Amino acid sequence: MQSFPLERDGLVPVYVQIRKRLLDRITSGDLKAGDLMPSEQEISGTLGVSRMTARQAVKSLCDWGIAYSMRGKGTFVSPVKLEKNFRQAQSFTEEMNALGFRPSSQVFALKAERAPTEVAEALKAGRNSEVIRLDRLRLANSKPMGIECAYLLHSMCPGLIHVFDPQASLYETLWKQFGLSIAVADEIVEVGLPSAAAASLLRISRNKPVFLFTRVSYARRGHSMQAVEYVKSTYRGDRYKIANRLTRAKLKLAGISV
Amino acid sequence: MQSFPLERDGLVPVYVQIRKRLLDRITSGDLKAGDLMPSEQEISGTLGVSRMTARQAVKSLCDWGIAYSMRGKGTFVSPVKLEKNFRQAQSFTEEMNALGFRPSSQVFALKAERAPTEVAEALKAGRNSEVIRLDRLRLANSKPMGIECAYLLHSMCPGLIHVFDPQASLYETLWKQFGLSIAVADEIVEVGLPSAAAASLLRISRNKPVFLFTRVSYARRGHSMQAVEYVKSTYRGDRYKIANRLTRAKLKLAGISV
DNA sequence: CAGTGGTCTAGACCACAGT
DNA sequence: CTGTGGTCTAGACCACTGT
């Protein structure tokens, strides 16, 4: 167990930080499938937390299917294939960097609220679940590219509101602070015209076509995927395009809406 | 909350007994979807257990998706019905059938010609290679959906002009007649406004946004891929949308044009 | 036997929602 | 303000595993 001190400022719960360290040891290969994880008592003593707190971290890994416990023996890493070399699914920030643009953002909303019905259903969460809403204008080389309105399940990233740096990459923060790695996303792409508000923020006229994205992102959680993020975006049609590599199966996903 | 005493003999954990009572109230209809469940403090007081024990019962219901909590408000019965959910991504065919559409095509060009520079480069063929050009209006229930202009390498499908049935699937013909199996396609998606000709064929006004597709399709040939088809398409934005499942690698292909 | 996870206690402070 | 859930503590007893 790494023994550098935990942050006790109350921004990110201690058990989340501990869980993150355990996850790091698994993804780095330090702890392999079948290996014995540090015991609750050991974590408690090493990191100076109560055993219940250590247990909360270990328990959540078991809930995620990443570990399993045996009474009297210990807790072991599940034989689940957690991909090494964990690269993040690309966020706007990473995408712009890769293309040599300088990404930036203007955050105009960051708050907790109750999930709208559409969001709750997409995230498979109960109606009125708590979500964190993050509205941002995305820019490349200081030129407006698109607007994103993201809803994140609060239960997956408690404390995000306090630790999120408005200029940082959301995906990077999700990984560094909460051990969440976005692995896959389902996306609906439509075309349309911008709302008056969107047109103003994007500095285009209302008759310019735009991309409309609806995306649900998933993090790997043991054997299954956990919906984490629901995003509605509007992107300028004159500055954005999509490149897809389609397989035969994927060609069939293209759909019609009346 | 029923208040008859809990069994403290250690055979069944107390929190399991509490959870069972809460579940009974839900399945019996006493607690309905959206209803406020007894608070952790209330359970703690009524049943004479510590709050952490009451919490453990409630928390496990939340983990199961049967309830959800909101800080400061309470814990509520979840509206999810485990059986009815959930929407699955529909394939093109399934969606057409579900909507009762009948697909058809109008061919308005089928001829051999010299490859335009752009096409030749995309297909990695020599300049002035011979290609077969196939222009089609695609319809669903006789309503125009999109226009496709395809260029096929003549050397890969000689005689296509003579054997192609205008109402048949192009890919099916390529397979049955020439043994070409389209395995993968690289596609660029842009938004725009239709040309005058396209708007007329699609029966929309020129200020309606459309999808613009540029696609290069490849057939498996031994261990490598052979470019076969280059397609430019214009699809009505009000009748078409795209569903993508993005992995990390796919997200990387998204690109910018300034 | 010592060490493990499973359960439980009786408090505590906090952030947040509604009054 | 009170009541809620979210987190955390410093203990405790238990059942179980291995030596």
Structurally, at CATH architecture level, domain A92-251 sits in: 3-Layer(aba) Sandwich (3.40)
Around Cβ A126, how many Cβ atoms within 10 Å? 24
- Give the residue with greater pLDDT, A220 vs A201: A201
* 3-state SS, residue B72: coil
C-alpha–C-alpha distance, residues B185 and B218, integer Å: 6
Nearest CA in chain A to B68: A126
Q: What is the mean pLDDT of residues A53-60?
A: 94
Q: Are A235 and A107 in contact (CB under 8 A)?
A: no
Per-residue pLDDT tens listing for chain B (258 residues): 555 678 887 778 899 899 889 988 887 889 988 899 999 999 999 999 999 999 999 998 888 778 888 888 999 988 754 332 222 222 233 334 445 676 777 888 888 888 888 888 888 877 667 889 999 888 888 888 889 899 998 888 887 888 788 777 787 777 777 767 777 788 888 999 999 999 999 999 999 999 999 988 888 665 567 788 999 989 999 988 887 777 654 444 443 333
Letter string b/e over residues A5-35, b meaning 16 or more CB atoms within 10 A of that residue's CB: ebeeeeebebbbbbbbbbbbbbbeeebeeee
For B128-152, b/e burial (b = at least 16 CB within 10 A) is ebebbbbbbbbbbeeebbbbbebbb
Best A113, A175, A256 residue to mutate vs chain B (most B CBs within 10 Å): A256
What single string gives the DSSP state of each residue in A15-75?
HHHHHHHHHHHHHTTSS-TTPBPPPHHHHHHHHT--HHHHHHHHHHHHHTTSEEEETTTEE
CA of A43 to C1' of C8 (A): 20
B71 → chain A, closest CA residue: A130
Mean pLDDT of chain A: 84
Q: Angle, nearest 10°, between helix axes B51-63 and B40-47?
A: 130
Question: Would you place residue A247 in the very low, low, confident or very high pLDDT band (cuts 50, 70, 90)?
Answer: low
- Of A33-37, A164-168, A222-226, B228-232, which range is least confident? A222-226
CB A191 within 8 A of CB B237: yes
Domain boundaries, chain B: 14-77, 92-253
Residues in a beta bridge with A133: A111, A151
Homologous superfamily of B92-253: Chorismate lyase-like (3.40.1410.10)
Query: Measuring from the CA of residue B73 to each C1', which nucleotide is nearest?
Result: D4
As a whole number, mean pLDDT of residues A92-114 equals: 83
What's the token pair of residue B107?
């061919």
Say yes or no: do domains A14-77 and A92-251 share a fold: no
Q: Which nucleotide is nearest to A70 (CA to C1')?
A: C5
Which among A147, A118, A127 is positioned nearest to A216, based on CA atoms?
A118
Q: Which residue has the higher pLDDT, A18 or A65?
A: A18
| Per-residue pLDDT tens digits for A202-243 | 999 999 999 999 999 998 776 678 899 999 999 999 988 887
Q: How many CB atoms lie within 10 A of CB A226?
A: 18
Q: CA B180 to CA B176: how far, in whole Å?
A: 8
Residue B254 near residue A189 (C-beta atoms within 8 A): no
Q: What are the structure tokens assigned to B147, written together?
A: 């226009």
Structure tokens at B184: 């993968």
Q: Is the pLDDT of residue A3 over 80?
A: no
CATH topology of domain A14-77: Arc Repressor Mutant, subunit A (1.10.10)
> Which positions in strand C are less than 7 Å from the protein's CB atoms?
3-12, 14-18
Per DSSP, A9 falls in state: S
pLDDT of residue B89: 24
pLDDT of residue A39: 94
Question: Residue B245 and residue A186: Cβ atoms within 8 Å?
Answer: yes
Q: Which tokens go with A177?
A: 């602070």
